[in-house]
Structure 1
Amino acid sequence: MIRFTALISALLLSSGLATAGPAETFSESCASCHGEDRLGGTGPALIPQTLKRMRGPNLEKVILNGRPATQMPAFADVYSAEEIKAMAAYIKEPLDIVPEWGEDKIAETLTLNEDYVPASKPVFSADPMNITLVVETGDHHVSVLDGDTFEVLDRFETPFAVHGGPKFSPNGRYVFIMSRDGWVQKYDVWSLQQVGRVRAGLNSRNIAISHDGNWLAVANYLPNTLTLLSTKDLSVAAVKDIKGKDGTPSRVSAVYQAPPRESFVLALKDVPEIWEVFYGPNPPHYGFAHDWRVEGPAPHTKPFPVRKITTPDYLDDFFFDQKYEYVMGASRSGEGGQVIDLVIGHKTADLDLPGMPHLGSGITWKYGDTTVMATPHLKDGTVSVIDMETWKTVKRIETLGPGFFMRSHENTDYVWADVFFGPNKDAMHVIDKQSLEIVKTLRPVEGATVAHVEFTRDGSHALVSVWEDDGAVIVYDAATLEEVKRLPMRKPSGKYNVWNKITFSEGTSH
């Protein structure tokens, strides 16, 4: 368990008032998650710039009660009220120096693999479109699986604490992987070799790749920026400072691509706005921010117009409709959601989504004569199913506890939903797409966290993670729901099939 005494010692270290005890506790118990410099690792950075919306009593509540849907534990039974109040006060103290991290600093970190030799064709006989990557956070590696035989073709080291889903180039050859501390890694699937890596931020959330495969967008908590990289050589194309219309700086909660719009769409953590950053040659005319062009000599000059859309509430996460005309968004602090029309730039509907929906894991499928979107909830034991024409709730499916991930495939009759939080974390629900009923609950390893499903290219098999350090990827027959194979893995947190991701399979979150 993380010991929050570390927070005190970290802040004391920055102010020069540390005693040996708290300093040792921080280094021993917290630095592995939050970083020796408090700039983040698997856990967030513990500085005021990244805790803007947890002021005063809210900070004390987090230390007292923990945070739902995270690994932050409660400390009500560990510290007194006065000690917790002191912790909250220290957290608000800034670091003496927060490093600058602009284009020059990013460029200095670029490292290319001198031994990399691009192959003219895949160096393996497996179907390159049915390759599945397994992120193993237990020892910071990725395994490359043959999606037909489930043989491990390669296992390579990643940056520390991979966060957010890897993104494939449009032809599936290259994959880009991001870590929580801002490193972006490029890997050649055909050659089974790392190409290089660069540190695009200090504390980052996720990445998105443009539909043409030319640009990679990196959403940063620290600094408050969006970094745009060239996918060709990982060079910096632009660094966008994220400030709301009123000048308020903000962290970027998430960034996704909107292919038909030739844009990236950003959710902002600290201002009630979403941004659309265009990368295409002929962006529409919306009245962009004045700083829309990156200056510099050719060929690096690249326009990235920014459109800022005011929203009624903060949007920590969101989901697109199939045409990328609407954004379904929700705040982690709210009890509902909203639909934003990207064409007109206004809210058009409210969503009945209590219990902190995890829209980043939302999926869609055909349901009768309409299309529905389903999302798990991080606080409630439910899966909400929403009609994407009326924006009304079709059904709220009761589960054994709050969930984190959902997956399906166009060639299967079922949706798989985990129960990530609580005493039933070893359960995996299988839901019929048309009856919207749970038809089976799998419990492959008693007491273990069972989560995150991915399908093979044809949807014939479902891969399930046993999210433990001595865990496994379990392969199921997607029709019979019987176990086929079990692959030992080191805390396999996520799995990503090339074909499903590059074709935007209806059962895959984007």
Structure 2
Amino acid sequence: MIRFAALALCAALLAPAAHAGSQEAPCCATGDLGLIVERASGSLLVVDQSERAAIGRIEGLGDLSHASLVYSPDERFAFVFGRDGGLTKVDILTQKITGRVMQAGNSIGGAISDDGTLIAVANYEPGGVRVFDAGTLEMVADIPTGSKTIGLVDAPDRRFVFTLWDAGETWIADFSGDAPKITKVPGIGKNPYDALIAADGRTYIAGLFGEDGLTALDLWDETPEPRRILPGYGKGREGLPVYKMPHLEGWALAGEEFVLPAVGQHEVLWVDARDLTETARTKTHGQPVFAMSRPGGRQVWVNFAHPLNDTIQVIDTRSHEVIHELTPGPAVLHMEFTARGTEVWVSVRDADRVDIYDAATFEKIGEIAAKSPSGIFFTARAHRMGL
């Protein structure tokens, strides 16, 4: 327990400095830490990966029923996007809130610019995107859209990309100059509900709820044009009730294939990442919510919507076949791999715990008590685009 003792000492040393408003450098590293959203209590659980243990709790973050967060480049600060429109900045070393603004009535996620200076938040009410200074949380831009705004991601060169549910458009906001420049791309499709960006920042894919298919943009083009992919993938089959929409930022890129959850179907779709053509389909236990690639791309782990949300399936990326199944417990909401993929942490909301598995052997190697846990976010995310 030497490491835990060192962390405890660090927290003790930081506390007086934080109380006095000191900006002295912290005494601890952040690379082994993470945050778990406790959705029912409006709190964040601070965890240590090596200890497989909780080391603190940050409270007072409002409605976290659909919360996500991003990290500053130094991994010390997290910016939390609450469903109630709250944008909260927390210090994971002092385990305190350092800033909070109620920026909208209903928020659905956000992103941090590639240089770490801007925080963008996507809003349902009043719609649009608002952009804030990462240091002060002062608003620097208000981009009204007249629509619910979804699929907000960061893109290279201080750009943000987001999509409009009502208008079926994708907007690209470029903050590289003195004033933001907005490029509007119409013709995305009916009711786009979420989106992802590839790790190289080139391909942006929006999923469509109002029609069968998805739409891709090549962000390297001077004037990106929408390209429909997998049109009619559910043709000839009755769509099942959708109890929970897939989270497309959890789509996997495994090797040279995207792995995409099929809306209203019990399957995942495999798409060639180079030419965006379908390569395979895998039947699954239920309607996929997250399809997440283990670092290295050897496996994809999938969880499912209610009422089949007690199960995780592991798919081999070469054979496209399910090779293992786990049943952690009621309401598996989220999964997060450690940076090199040795472990996967799983939130089991209705059991009030997070389970930890060896990603190679599938053996359960630990668990942590948590209050209705949902999203799990390790600090390694600070160095990855689109998360």
Q: 2:304 aligns with which of 414, 419, 422?
A: 419
Answer yes or no: is 1:451 the counterpart of 2:333.
Answer: yes
Q: 1:156 aligns with which of 55, 58, 77?
A: 58
CA offset at residue 144 of structure 1? 0.8
Query: Any idea what SS the aligned residue of 1:228 has?
Result: strand
Shift in alpha-carbon separation, 1:226–1:412, aligned structure 2, 3 A: closer
Once residues 408 and 345 of structure 1 are traced to their aligned partners in structure 2, the CA distance between those partners, rounded to angstroms, is 27
TM-score by length of 2: 0.86
Structure 2: distance between partners of 1:334 and 1:358: 17
Structure 2 residue 250 is matched with structure 1 residue 361: yes
Q: Which amino acid aligns with 1:494?
A: G
Q: Which amino acid aligns with 2:78?
A: V
2:79 corresponds in structure 1 to 176
Structure with higher strand content? 2
| Contact 2:313 2:322 survives alignment (8 Å) | yes
Structure 2 counterpart of 1:494, from 375, 380, 386: 375
Structure 1, unaligned runs of 5 or more: 1-113, 243-248, 282-301
Kindly provide the amino acid, as one letter, of the partner of residue 109 in structure 2: N
1:255 is aligned, of 118, 138, 152, to 152
Among 349, 355, 360, the alignment partner of 1:474 is: 355
TM normalised by structure 1 equals 0.66
Structure of higher RCO (CA pairs closer than 8 Å, 6+ residues apart): 2
Picking from 181, 196, 202, the partner of 1:305 is 181
1:334 aligns with 2:211: yes
* 1:204-223 to 2 correspondences below 5 Å: 204-223=107-126
For residues 119 and 358 of structure 1, do their structure 2 counterparts lie closer, same or farther at Cα, with a shift above 3 Å needed?
Answer: same
Residues 318 and 253 from structure 1, CA distance in 2 versus in 1: closer, same or farther, beyond 3 angstroms? same
Instruction: State the match for 2:283 in structure 1.
Output: 398
Equivalent residues in 2 for 1:378-389 (5 A)? Answer: 378-389=263-274
Q: Which residue of 1 aligns with 2:131?
A: 228
- Which of the residues 128, 139, 147 maps onto 2:41? 139
Report how far residue 177 of structure 1 moved: 0.3
Is the 1:130–1:456 Cα contact (8 Å) retained in structure 2?
Answer: no
SS for the counterpart of 2:31 is helix
Q: CA deviation at 1:153?
A: 1.8
Shift in Å, 1:184? 0.5
CA distance in 1: counterparts of 2:199 and 2:43, whole angstroms: 33
Q: Which residue matches 2:226?
A: 347
Residue 272 of structure 1: aligned partner: 168
What's 2:93 paired with? 190
Q: Percent identity?
A: 26
C-alpha offsets along residues 238-287 of structure 1, whole Å, 9 cap, x if unaligned? 21221xxxxxx2121231111x2420001101112110001113xxxxxx
Q: Determine helix, strand or coil for the equivalent of 1:346.
A: coil
**How many Å separate the matches in 2 of 1:375 and 1:415?**
11
The 3 A distance-change label for structure 1 pair 490 and 380 is same
More displaced, 158-167 or 426-435? 158-167
CA contact (8 A) 2:38 2:64 kept: no
Q: Deviations over 1:416-467 (max 9, x none)?
A: 1012222x3211101112222111110123xx11231101123211101112
User: Structure 1 CA distance, aligned partners of 2:23 and 2:360?
Assistant: 37
Q: Secondary structure at the match of 1:360?
A: helix
In 1, are the aligned partners of 2:199 and 2:384 still within 8 Å (CA)? Answer: no
1:191-247 Cα shifts (integer Å, max 9, x gaps) = 3221010011111111111011111111111112311111111111121221xxxxx
Map Cα deviations across residues 46-75 of structure 1 (whole Å, 9 max, x no partner). xxxxxxxxxxxxxxxxxxxxxxxxxxxxxx
* Corresponding residue for residue 322 of structure 2: 438
Cα offset, 1:312, TM superposition = 4.4
**Higher share of residues assigned helix:** 1
Structure 1 residues 117 and 459, CA, compared in 2 at 3 Å: closer, same or farther?
A: farther
**Is the CA contact 1:224–1:251 (under 8 Å) kept in the aligned structure 2?**
yes
CA distance in 2, matches of 1:120, 1:393: 53
Shift of residue 119 of structure 1? Answer: 5.7
Give structure 2 stretches of 5+ with no counterpart. 1-17, 240-244
SS at match of 1:316: strand
Cα distance in 2 for partners of 1:197, 1:223 equals 19
Distance 2:288 2:382 in 1: 25
Compared CA separation, residues 394 and 404, structure 1 to 2 (3 A): same
Asked whether the 8 Å contact 2:254–2:297 carries over to 1, the reply is: no
Q: Determine whether 1:372 maps to 2:257.
A: yes
Whether the 8 Å CA contact 1:431–1:437 is kept in 2: the answer is: yes
Q: Which amino acid aligns with 1:169?
A: S
Tell me how far 1:162 sits from its aligned partner. 4.7
SS state at 2:135 partner: coil
Residue 504 in structure 1 maps to residue 384 in structure 2 = yes
In 2, Cα distance between equivalents of 1:266 and 1:413: 30
CA contact (8 A) 1:318 1:330 kept: yes
